Chain A
């Protein structure tokens, strides 16, 4: 038996004993069941399996540590009111915020971070990673790492613009429908129904093949596809606010619709809307990635995660993980955003921990 295996079990058993001694039932159960599982795993998979477990636990611990430190950092930096809210954030939400923060930095400072340009051919096709290229080269010999960094700017940026647009259209229509009621409500409701009745990907493909794959067309199409969901949520939330006495008081004062929306209704419906924003962002992001994968999204040579997966897809059959890296970047962002959204949903639902 190697020293690693002996150390591995010794560490686990010591930790379990310490947990048991301090009567920390949860930690003990976790550690000791891990020890038992490791016995089986060690017999079946040998040393590599145990190494795998160690690395995984190490990554998890690192992520937790980073999230914890990042949350503390945010609490220190932000104003007291926001800091108070942040204190309630679970580690998952802090992790999500950290990932989003990292992506934002990568996207904004892409030209300085990336060692090469996004369409610069610097090596032969599919070259493996070396000192110059962290993640190797793609099918045309461009640096994979630089393209991932630029991809953060292009894919995320595009998705963000499209989501914001979808929200502006959907939320405005929803708020106006709630305030006005009557035919305006009916009209926008039915328009939303019509848009929602067409499968979103088919609709996008259709429009993009008619009008071509210009950036603004992509943004507009995606925004229109997703605005009905925002509309329906906003309409429902605002519908509950409109019947409040303070809205009636403002109406009787003679306030215009715009004042009602801006001052009375919107401040009281932001929480669910922000949560929805995070959720929609993920869907929009995935839709754009999907469109790019199908060749109708962002056009080459612009780096984009969705099309990068497609371009390098052939490598999968050779057992190489390169095409999975942009896919992982998409997955990580989606998971991160959902972590943050979950926390916000929890807050806006009014559930408080006992």
Chain B
């Protein structure tokens, strides 16, 4: 708050209330939030999903999304009241004085136009610059954002550019009219840790250079600590705490804030492989795999998973983690190598496996929304595997479903007859776990199970998985790109890059140097709570090779 204290107020939101339309009535989603933003100040909005972060972000542009309405309060942007402004007045602000950077750049760019044409659209529309001038300015911004080939990259189409580069191009686009305020709505959530750093550094530099005010919306505390001057914590549409970043990190006052900070503390003791010569539950041996007609996605991948152990498979997107899971389940028959289950070779195609072999390996998916049939009752979703594998019927089946619901800490009486769309993200993920457990497997593949969830909810899921492992002796293959998760739950780690296993071993070993350079890169890219982490890291790595470091 200090360094911008004497600057003019740019955005002032007073007692903002926003309603959302649900079940034919208006329910409040934002219940009176105040916000003051000075020129050049960066404010972080954090909270769980459904806390109303994005809604406030949109409201700062005077925009109420479909199905919502601003019911009360005032939004004053540079002396102009946005709640009463006509849509023409607000339209004149957007793009030129207030810009927005969305979470998924890939979904926000129009795939049919070149980047630079989309970039110059706003300056041309507002007649701020001539086309050639705007293009030159775009190239300059690309250079400042450290995009490779700044003079050429703008003439590509969005699909010809990587995700991190696209996100930076979008930030450049938001800058095209030199706005006073930029709203960043989870700009790095969909990116890998290594890519995230490039984008974070770029955003921070450009906001600094042009003295732009920004609202940074995210659920990742470590990220927000790097980027912002002040932090506002939201819970269910209400403000919990507002303080400067240092104060917030060092001495959080409210109970809820403390709980957010404590999330990453969950850790459980590491287990080691069983001493006797028991066979691994799943043993992947020299697998090569490719999708039809494509290049090799997996190249000589081997690892073992012993009973009761958690093996984390980490790597960036495109490194072949999920493909390895598809090979194990039999969805993608390998070109070479085999999968052993307790020493016996499994047929490569799932169609050829026996019911018992299928039962052994269950899967929990990343997106609980698409992993549960929205038109089936919870009792059917969980009951079906139990009925299918164990032949339970009637009362016995009902009892088993109740038992499973108890196991995942959901009240059977309340959830038995409900449908998935009625549940929250965390509850859905628990149902996904129960469905896997219903088959009574020995081995479960967890594919990014926590990455779509908020930190508090994610921690609940991790604790649940850990408890189930202890009670039922399950083995997990834990696919993730989040090393914090690995640190808390894994026993062994397999690091993958470009379809190859670059390093594997027990967790303690993996987290202590010396590392393989790629492991090192992954590890050092995980944001830490320290507000100076990014600065220090960039100094260590040198400004120029943050992006290229990923392709060692």
Contact = CB atoms under 8 A, between A and B. Distances in A.
Contacts of A250: 384
Contacts of A214: none
Contact of B370 (A246, A254, A255): A246
Interface in A238-266: 244-246, 248-255, 263-264
Contacts of A245: 365, 367, 370-371
Interface residues on B, range: 20 to 34
B393 interface: no
B370 A244 contact: yes
B280 interface: no
Contacts of A267: 373, 375-376
B21 interface: yes
Given A244-B370, A245-B370, A252-B358, A263 B66 contact: no
A54 interface: no
Given A352-B67, A354-B66, A252 B371 contact: no
Contacts of B40: none
Residue in A87, A246, A248, A263 with the greatest tally of chain B CB atoms within 10 Å: A246
B370 to A, nearest CB: 5
A254 B388 contact: yes
B230 to A, nearest CB: 34
Contact of B373 (A253, A254, A264): A264
Residue in A245, A251, A263 with the greatest tally of chain B CB atoms within 10 Å: A245
Contacts of B361: 252
Contact of B331 (A252, A352, A354): A252
B355 interface: yes
A233 B375 CA distance: 20
A252 B350 contact: yes
Residue in A244, A250, A352 with the greatest tally of chain B CB atoms within 10 Å: A244
Given A249-B363, A252-B331, A253-B388, A268 B355 contact: no
Nearest to B445: A252
Contacts of B365: 245, 249
A interface: dominant SS: helix
Contact of B439 (A253, A263, A354): A253
Contacts of A354: 21, 66-67
Interface string B42-74: 000000000000000000000000110000000
B546 to A, nearest CB: 34
Given A352-B67, A354-B21, A354-B67, A253 B385 contact: yes
A247 to B, nearest CB: 8
Interface string A215-255: 00000000000000000000000000000111011111111
A252 B349 CA distance: 10
A87 B355 CA distance: 47
Contacts of A246: 370-373
Interface string B302-336: 00000000000000000000000000011100000
B358 A253 contact: yes
B331 A248 contact: yes
A268 B420 CA distance: 13
A87 B24 CA distance: 10
Residue in A248, A254, A255, A268 with the greatest tally of chain B CB atoms within 10 Å: A254
B374 interface: yes
A251 B371 CA distance: 12
B363 A268 contact: no
B406 to A, nearest CB: 22
Contacts of A352: 21, 67
Contacts of A253: 358, 384-385, 388-389, 439
A352 B21 CA distance: 10
A252 B327 CA distance: 12
A354 B20 CA distance: 10
Interface in B341-382: 350, 353, 355, 358, 361-363, 365, 367, 370-376, 380
A245 B381 CA distance: 13
B376 A263 contact: yes
Interface in A311-331: none
Interface of B: 21, 24, 66-67, 329-331, 350, 353, 355, 358, 361-363, 365, 367, 370-376, 380, 384-385, 388-389, 435, 439
Given A253-B388, A255-B388, 4 more contacts: A246-B373, A249-B365, A250-B384, A268-B375
Interface of A: 87, 244-246, 248-255, 263-264, 267-268, 352, 354
Query: What 5 A-B pairs are tightest by C-beta distance, nearest first?
Result: A267-B375, A245-B371, A246-B373, A245-B365, A254-B358
8 contacts: A87-B24, A249-B363, A249-B435, A253-B384, A253-B389, A254-B358, A264-B376, A354-B67
